[in-house]
Chain A
Amino acid sequence: MATRAKSLAITPARLVHLGNRTLVYVILLAGATFTLLPFIWIILTSFKPASEIVRIPPTFFPEKWTLKSYQTIFTDPRVPLARFYFNSTFVTFMRVFITLFTSSLAGYIFCKYRFWGKNIMFVLILAQLMVPFQVIMIPEYLILVKLKLIDNLWGLIIPGMVDAFGIFLMRQFIEAIPDEMIDAGRIDGASDFGIYWRIVLPQLGPSLAALGIFTFLAVWNDYLFPLIVITTTEKRTLPLLLTWYSSQHSTRYDLTMAASVLVMLPILLVYVIFQRWIVRGVALTGFK
């Protein structure tokens, strides 16, 4: 590699390079602004009184800061906000944990064992991967009706307990675990489940985290499935809160924007804290 001579001379090449660098930053900042602007807009809007929101032309920063929109939502007796948070948390955590468990266990078995019917079963798993939820949502609903799981949080959890994508992903990662390690465990007298629990699982840290995050995001923000399954207010998950104040005959933008902020807040907070892991996890799942 040629050494780069350090020179302080302002050469044309240097200027071009500087110009390029500046351009790069300008573009990146423009992109960041475009990304953040809508967020900022609705946060500001949520602090404006209703009368200011409907003003033409609209104001950007609130002329009058108010918490009225949030107050209305918090004190609305028809909106059990805490209940919605609980429902979302419960459904999401259950699904994440169960999915991590079933995916890693099944991934392990499909990877390290040979048994009768293995190929057929794998094809079935592939099938779930190929068929989008929207295609099977009608029968899914009908099955839940027959099982009397409509309007029940378990109706949201049970169909999602086995995730083909998760099994696939875990299988990929478990491939990387050398067979010798497994055999060593066997020689040491571990049971099969013990090998899974004590040898395989600990190695899967980052990939489990990745799958967990991925599933968490998908379930927390899921709208279509709860829309079909949940019929009473108290069983609603958070995304179903959002359309409360906006419907055909009337859209209260002040309340809708405040509700949007409330719904996005927890996940934004989680994101800000765990951002690095989340991004890394997504890259892992995507880039395998």
Chain B
Amino acid sequence: MRDKILILVLIITFALTACGGKATTAPPLQAAPTDTPVSANPPSSGEKVTLKMWSHSNPAFQKANELLIAKFQEQNPNIEVKFETFEYDLYLQNLETSMVAGTEADVMELFGTWICPQYASGGRLMSVPEDVMTYDQAKQIFFQATLDGYYCDGKLYGLPHEFNLENGGALVNQEMFEKAGLAFPPQWATFADLIADAKKMTAVEGGTMTVAGFDPITGDGLTFTFLAAILEQGGNYFAADNRHFNFDTPEARKALQMIVDWAQKDKVVDPVVFTDESNSVSTAFWTNIMAIGFIGSWAAGEGLISYPDFKFDYVEIPTYFGGERHFAADSGWGKVVSINTKHPVEAWKLVKFLTVEEDSAVIYNTTSGTIPALKALVANPDAVLAKEPWIKPTFDLLPHGQFIGNVTDRDRLFYTIVYPTVLLAMQGGTSVDEAVVKINNDANAMVDEAK
């Protein structure tokens, strides 16, 4: 009896193997025709092609991509797009491991600043074919700063979706301003005005800060603030070879001191309670624990989807030192094609549809809350502003931005080197001098390791 049960179980298990082991993919999520897809050889036109597309799982970006994929499949019934998303932390590691193993997608959404140092140089991406778009053509329709990340060693490796602006704007909580009797939307002439307002809205209860007046503490926010403050003073964070860094400068010290003062002198944010890990601006702002949250415009887009009734605005913040505005911008999210793709023609068709077509770009930017990379959309902003009016102030900022440069490993520089050290300085765990020197050493070590 026992024998028979055992054999039965083994049979069932092997039966499961037959279906499960070859388990491939879940059915597509768009209304696509259900023919069997996939041929390994480039098909003649008309044959069914399946493309895999990857992106990260920010809900606004997800929605934007899904809308566009639906449209694309309508227009191209012979191309099916399988779309997969990954949470951000896992996305990078996944890209790495899958590219090594050759299991990556055909089309991927990558962050521009990553591309040259981390992906193109490894030969993992396909350069944009001349008949799809040349670099000169691209320069005419896209903002330079958005393209810089995609252009490596004389070749263009992808097309951008957005002008990544993590500088110059902040979310502001309407109720808190009004309760404190402050003007809303705020009209700050100088940065000191912003801090003054922030002080009035900061709340501390029983030794714990319950409302932060001004919270710039995110991995991106803090780093960009630091870099922008250096640039505003006319300084530079790169060394002469534009690869290595030089943070050991008086400008860097002044920049860091300003940031530290926000926490220690002005006390508008408690850097222990409000960190990127425990109360990150993009989620915490919507829980009414901060009045002014320094973050990119995409957070507004995400907030509108997840918290549609929240009363807020996204406004321009003054320059730090009162002079001309200067900041460093990432080359933002865009689409690239893997070097291993079996359907390059279709893949680039998809990429071009997603990034170059103005209608697509409008949908993408307004749904994800990002600033357009296409010059045309800013020159004639009505279509965009109709859907995301709060993004208007950022348009004025665009001319002042420059591409951040080749920073070797962008996420590592931001999240492992600059952010933790700046945060530590804010928390009083290290002096400004020590912090600046540490950032300098660590960043340069990173460059040397990567060689």
User: A contacts B directly in the complex (CB < 8 Å)?
Assistant: yes
A positions within 8 Å CB-CB of B: 54, 56, 77-78, 80, 83, 86-87, 90, 93-94, 97, 141, 144-145, 148, 150-151, 153-154, 197, 202, 227-228, 231-235, 243-252
Q: Which of B274-312 contact A (CB under 8 A)?
A: 276, 280, 282-283, 287, 289, 302
State the CA gap A94–B289 with chains docked (Å): 49
A-side contacts of B86, CB under 8 Å: 233
Dominant SS at the A interface? helix
21 A/B residue pairs, CB under 8 Å, sorted by A = A54-B287, A56-B289, A80-B26, A87-B23, A90-B16, A90-B23, A97-B9, A97-B10, A141-B97, A144-B101, A145-B101, A153-B21, A231-B101, A232-B84, A233-B86, A234-B25, A243-B90, A248-B89, A248-B276, A249-B58, A249-B88
**Contact A250/B101 with A80-B26, A97-B13, A232-B84 known, Cβ cut-off 8 Å:** no
CB nearest to B52 among chain A residues: A232
A145 touches B26 (CB 8 A): no
Which 7 pairs between the two chains have the least Cβ-Cβ distance?
A150-B101, A54-B287, A231-B98, A247-B87, A151-B103, A250-B283, A247-B88
Can you name the residue of chain B whose Cβ is closest to the Cβ of A53? B287
Give the residues in chain A near B415, CB-CB below 8 Å. Answer: 248
With both chains docked as a complex, state the minimum distance between the C-beta of B164 and any C-beta of chain A, in angstroms. Answer: 14
B134 at interface, CB cutoff 8 A: no
Residues of A within 8 A of B331 (CB): none
Other-chain contact of B282, A197, A234, A250 (Cβ < 8 Å): A250
Bound CA span A86–B23, Å = 10
A243 touches B89 (CB 8 A): yes
Binding site for A on B (CB under 8 A): 2-3, 9-10, 13, 16-17, 20-21, 23-26, 29, 57-58, 62, 84-90, 93-94, 97-98, 100-104, 210, 218-219, 276, 280, 282-283, 287, 289, 302, 415
User: A93 touches which one: B13, B25, B302 (CB < 8 A)?
Assistant: B13
Bound-state CA distance A87–B20 (Å) is 8
On chain B, the residues within 8 Å of A233 by CB distance are 84-86
Structural contact, B280 and A249, CB atoms closer than 8 A: yes
Please name all residues of chain B whose beta carbon is closer than 8 Å to the beta carbon of A235 when the two chains form the complex: 23
| Inter-chain contacts of A151 with B (CB < 8 A) | 98, 101, 103
Q: Could you tell me the distance in whole angstroms from the C-beta of A255 to the nearest C-beta in chain B?
A: 11
Output the least CB separation between B220 and chain A (Å): 9
Inter-chain CA distance A233–B26, complex, in Å, is: 10
Query: In the complex, which residues of chain B have a beta carbon less than 8 angstroms from the beta carbon of A86?
Result: 20, 23
A134 to B85 Cα, complex, angstroms: 28
**Who on chain B is nearest to A250 by CB?**
B283
Given contact pairs A90-B20, A231-B101, a sample of 5 additional A-B residue pairs in the complex whose CB atoms are under 8 Å apart: A83-B26, A151-B98, A227-B90, A243-B90, A246-B87
Measured between beta carbons, the chain B residues less than 8 angstroms from A90 are 16, 20, 23
Shortest beta-carbon distance from A140 to chain B in Å: 12
**Which residues of chain B come closer than 8 Å to A252, judged between CB atoms?**
283
Residue from B94, B97, B218 whose CB has the most chain A CB atoms within 10 Å: B97
Q: Contact at B87–A243, with CB atoms within 8 Å?
A: yes
Structural contact, B103 and A231, CB atoms closer than 8 A:
yes
A56-B84 in contact given A93-B13, A231-B101 (Cβ < 8 Å) = no
Given A56-B210, A249-B282, answer yes or no on A78-B17 (Cβ-Cβ < 8 Å): no
| Distance in angstroms between the alpha carbons of A202 and B6 in the assembled complex | 11
Given contacts A56-B210, A202-B2, A247-B89, contact A148 B25 (CB under 8 A): no
Report the bound CA distance from A252 to B282 in whole Å: 11
Instruction: Choose among B16, B57, B104 the residue with the greatest number of A CB atoms under 10 Å from its CB.
Output: B57
Chain B residues lying within 8 Å of A247, measured Cβ to Cβ, are 57, 87-90
Closest to A98 in B: B13
Chain B residue with Cβ nearest A82: B26
Of A94, A141, A150, A234, which one neighbours B26 at CB under 8 angstroms? A234
* Interchain CB contact under 8 A, A228 and B16: no
List the A residue with the shortest CB-CB distance to B101: A150
Query: Do residues B87 and A77 form an inter-chain contact, with CB atoms below 8 A?
Result: no
> Whole-angstrom distance from the CB of B64 to the nearest CB of chain A?
14
A86-B20 Cα distance, complex, nearest whole Å:
8
Contacts of B98 in A (CB 8 A): 150-151, 231-232
Give bound CA distance, A78 to B9, whole Å. 33
> What residues of chain A lie closer than 8 Å to B26, measured between beta carbons?
80, 83, 234
Residues of B within 8 A of A148 (CB): 101-102
Q: Give complex CA distance A184, B170 in Å.
A: 84
Give complex CA distance A227, B86 in Å: 12
Q: Which residue of A lies closest to B29 (CB)?
A: A77
A154 contacts B21, C-beta separation under 8 Å: yes
CB distance from A103 to the nearest CB of B (A): 15
Q: Using known A-B contacts A150-B101, A251-B283, determine if residue A94 contacts B17 with beta carbons closer than 8 Å.
A: yes
Asked if B103 and A150 make an inter-chain contact with CB atoms under 8 angstroms apart, the answer reads: yes
A251 to B218, CA, bound (A): 14
